[in-house]
Structures are given as structure tokens and as C-alpha cells.
Structure 1
């Protein structure tokens, strides 16, 4: 059955009783997940500031607010101060693990030392697990990424990163039909790239101080990973928006006009500096129209097209927040002529004689001839589904009827 995973990393950094931007931002992420819990919550490391019991207790209490099973990977901060994994093991479980989950496998690697030097047998273990896995999608949870495209002084030592990348590439070649996704944190930003057929994602947006500009991926976020009944995963970047502002160039359109809507989101930052980013790639978003017969909108791009006179509300949703604008559509003789010409160009009017007659009636209407628009509409109704497609006939009739009703 389909299921959803939530990934987040690098937030909280619990230290004693301190309340910081990192704890507040993580709390906001978790509150939103608690409202609609995932099937599994994965925290990719750096949840506590250092290895002290009070920090682990606060981390557990925070995660307990989400009614979902969880997996936690060890980050470098979980062992800072002692370099011991004992408290992590007692609290969250093993730092190296293979988990079968539905039609996916989750392989958790211990990179808490910012290296695999703690247990170099992990290389052979990874090779064996990847070789025997029959999952459609394999997720490798690796707190420290194989490389740092942000040049923020993170990432595994070069030789170790290259060795892991070679292992993942070989596993992909051995079974090209499966997906291998390497999920990392450590860098407080979002980034994604493909290499040798393997998907690498850095997602460290749960609350820590950011390591990149907003335009480069430095914004607070988490991932929603939706796995379908075939085991194929869709990964959505969920920004921590507190508000969205929708910018429309104009709200009054003529039938046939297009409008490119844009939106910006204000990211929740608690006491950290304000962040505003476009509601566009890489963040997940959905545009929709309340009346697509009147105005349609591309669900991803916000490209809007007016079809027939009337009103419609265009909405955009992202990160659990939304914004909307009302669009009004009217028509003129010039816009109706342009729409008729477009119908011909796009194959909606297939007969040249019908097309010429329609244009002639519009010219007559422009010259003030009474009844010209009536003739235009009568011809379209007669040829609807014959020499004029049903969709185009209905659209042209609606625009002409609007003009006729207004004299």
C-alpha cells in the first residue's frame, strides 16, 4: 500500500533548557507533522547539541509530539563532547541499521564522526545490503554527505565520499531498474543532484543556522517522500512557510489572454533573520482554479489562461499555507477576433469557408451591423462538432454571447 515518509535533519540542537531559534523552528516543523502524521518519521541527525542526558530527554519529548514511528540517525552533534554512542544507542537504537519498509529499504550509515572511520566494515556491509536488496527504492541515510556542493566546510573526506559514490554507482549498474536515493543532512540547506543514476539529496533544514543563501537553497524545510503501490518514490520539498503573497500583473483579462502568476513565501524563522523565497522550484506547490471553465491554471507553473467571460479564484498552496486572487474575464470584438484566429491556427476550425465567414461577421459587427453577432453564434452552433470542434465552438460562443448581451 502507498505510504509517506517525512525526513528532516539538523534542527533542535537541544542544549540544557535553552530555547533558541533552532528549537523553535524544529517545534514548528513537528507541530505541522503532528497535524497530519506520516507513516514514518526519519530524523537525519544533529537533533541534540552534545552528549548529555537532558539534551536527549528534550529531543525525545519533541519527537514524541508526532504520533508516528521514527528512525533517527546519529549526527556529529549527538556524540560531541564524549565521542560515545552509548546514550544514542539507549535512546534511539543502533547507529547502523537495515530496515525493510514496504517496497523500500532503508540503510542507515554511521557518519557521526564526520567519517566512516568509526566502523570501516560499513563499506562491505553496504555493498552486501545493496546486493541482496530486492526493493524498488533504496534510501541510504547518511548524515554527512559524500560531498558538499555548497563549499560550507561539510562533507565526508574526499576519498571516503568517492568510495561510497562508487559503491552506490555499482549497485545502480547492477540493477538499473531500481532507484537509489542518498539522504543527507549536516549542511543546513537543500540541494539535489544525480550522479551515475543515483539521486543525492542534502536536506538539513530543520532549524540550524543556514549554510547557504536562500536563492542557493538556504531555507527551512523538510521532505515528504510519497511511495506508491509499486515502490516508486516522489520526493517533495516542504518549505516552512508562515505566509504566501501572490503577485498578479493584472486581474482583469480578456478571453484568450494569458497571465503568469508568481508568489513568494515568508519562511518561519523564529528569532533568526527573515527569509523570503519564490514559490517555485525546488519547493512543492500546487496552483488551482475554482472555475477552470473560465480561467485555467497550470498546477506547477502558475501560467493562467482566460477562456470565457466570468470570474474565478486562482489559489496557490505550498508548505501548508495559501494565497489567492480573483480573476475577471470579459471580451471585446478584437479579443473575439484574435480567439477565432487562434482557433483556426490550432485546428479548432477545420474548414476555410467557415473560418472566413466567421471573420466576415466579426468585421460586420465592428462596423455596427445589427445581427452580425447573432449570425456568428448561429454558424458556430450549426458547425459545432462538425467543422468546429466542440470545445472551441463553446468557447467562441460564450465570448460572443457576452458581447451580444452587452449590446
Structure 2
């Protein structure tokens, strides 16, 4: 049963909700989970899950939720995943923790795209659902917000050491999200009267002493000028020690960091660079696109105007050894880079992306790279120039001096490969993609 992946990289932001509440450890699990399910079925709307996964995937139903929870249970916990097979994408989990651990019911919801929650009705239904959960399962803190903005805000540690963050939790109002549930302990620390007088779209005291606070009617407009002012005003109200202008400036900087940047990469490396932004978190992506737009690789210098004469006694044997090197690279990487068997410009771009994503020059030993990977890559690169651009090998006893003649220039693929494999930055500066396109310009 296929499901959509809410973590697939794209320009779309995600809507995140995190919740951790208490439940009655002495009661039947089905009885304790029933209110969770009732609120989910009643209010989920367009993002309602249709797949439940325990040890296997099943069609969503209450009965299959029970079955999945039972089959995943061990001594201390159980958990299931909830997903959708159609847009909008959903990655949701429900987990329960049992004694001797402190009993906890955890809910995680990740919906994509965030723009679904630009609809006031969808947001209203979500608020109703959270109200039901927060009333039934007392929580210290819960929130719903943009994934990208959460990342920029430093969730969940807010600059603290992870150990300190896990120990202290959300013990003061570090940040305000679109939707917040503050537990009684935090409400008392802030001051109940102050909390209930927060300037916001909705401030509601729940029967268990928690407070539900929603900043504005819809989530998706969180980065607008009006929403940021409302966010800053509410935050400073709850934290009088903060300065309004400073808070608002920080929020506006976060909004600016999320404004989409149009890619305009250097044409020789665009096929490679266009794959990189999706490897960064959505909060960093626009800044990375801006950096890559400004990137200009050095003009390739691995060429000679006149060929060094061949000085090998047995060219066939040398070519055979190059073929062995190239085939070794193909054998080693054909699973990770399937196109490597094609020996095309696209294969070189796929290799660029693979080596960069794997941080290959930093992860593997210099001895392995210098004695195996770089020579094999040089042989493979030369073969691509021969096969795709009509090049001719001009062989030398010193491997780095071996050349491929294309047009009026001779090119040095082994030298290029050695420079390429020096660092992660050198994978950009000396990319195989750029080298191929530079050589291509001199094809007769």
C-alpha cells in the first residue's frame, strides 16, 4: 500500500504539530486511545489518514489502529504510523509509553503543504481537535506551526544543550507558535491572569488548567507583516523581559530567510547545483540557493594547447589498465549511481551529486582516494570524453600527464580527478559536470 512522503524535498513548507500528554496507566489502552481517535476522525478533514502502519500497512480503521498498537507493543511502549496515499501528504505517529517509564501519549503530525492551512475552516477544525486532545491528555506544552519557521526558531532546544533541553523541557516561553497549549505549571509560572490577557486570536482556559492560545486565524500566513507583529506583541506580553523591537526584528529576519529565491546557477554547473538545495533543511534552502546563484567555478585549467607526445611502449596494455580502473569504479558505484554504466554527461552529474552528498573526500581515507578512487575516476572521465565527444587518448607513463585530445586542445582527466577529490568544496570547484561542458565547447 503506497503512501506519500511528507518529507520529500520541495519548495513547499510543512505544517507540524507536536504533543505529549499524560494518560491513565491503569485503564485499558483502547479506552485511553479512543478519545484521540474520536477527535481525529471528527476534525482531521482533508488530511485524514487512510493508512495505518504497525508491523505492516493496513487500511485506516479503528479496528486496524487497535491491531497495529497491539502488534507493536513491547514491555514499555507501542507506536504506530498514520499516512495518506493521496495529497495532501501526511506523516503522523501515535506512541504510548508505559510504566516503569512515566506514562506518556505522544502525537506527531506532519502535513504537506502548509498552504492547506491557509483555509480558516481547516484551521478551525484543527483547533477543535487539539482542544479535545489537550483536555483529555494533560500536557506541559504542545504546538503547531510552520516546519521551516520552527527550524529557524531553534526548536526544540532553543540554543540549550540537548541534555538540558530534555531535562527542563519548555519551562519558559522561548517562542510562540501559531497554536500553543501551555500546561498548568507554565501558566502559573507566567501568571494565569497575564496568560489569559494575551493579545491573540484565541485565548482559552481549558478545564484541566491548561491554556490554549492561537495567534491568528490561519497558519499559512505566519510570515506576513501583520502576523509577525501579532506574534511579537503576544510574546513580549508573556515575556516582559523581552524587547518588542528586538523580537519583531528577529521575526522579520526569519520571514526574509524564507522568501523564495529564483535559481540562476552558472550554466556549466546548473545540472549539478540544481540538486543541492533539496539536501538542506527547508529553513536553509533559500539562503543556499542564493549562495549557489553567486557561485562561479574556476575556469578549468586541466588542458594543454599542444599534446605531450606519447611515451608508452605498449599503448594497448595501458588502455586496458585504464579500462580496468574505469570498470572498477562502475562495479563499486553502480548501485548508488545506476547511470554510471551509461558513460554520459548525466552520469558525470550523478557522480558529482553522489560524491557531494556522501561528503566522499572527507569521509574516506586519503590513501584510498589517492591510490584508488581518483585514478579510477580519471580513467572513467577520460573514457566519457572519448565516447561522447569523439576524443582520442594520448598516453603517458606518468598517469596524470595522460591526455584526451578533443578538437584543438588536449585535456588532462586524471589531473582533474585528483583536484576534484581534495575536499567537499573541490567537488564544486572542479566538478565533472563543468569539465565535460568546457571540453564540449572545443569539440570539432
Q: Please tell me the TM-score bracket, short chain as reference.
A: under 0.3
When the two structures are superposed, what TM-score results if normalisation uses the length of structure 2? 0.25
When the two structures are superposed, what TM-score results if normalisation uses the length of structure 1? 0.27
Greater share of residues in helix: 2
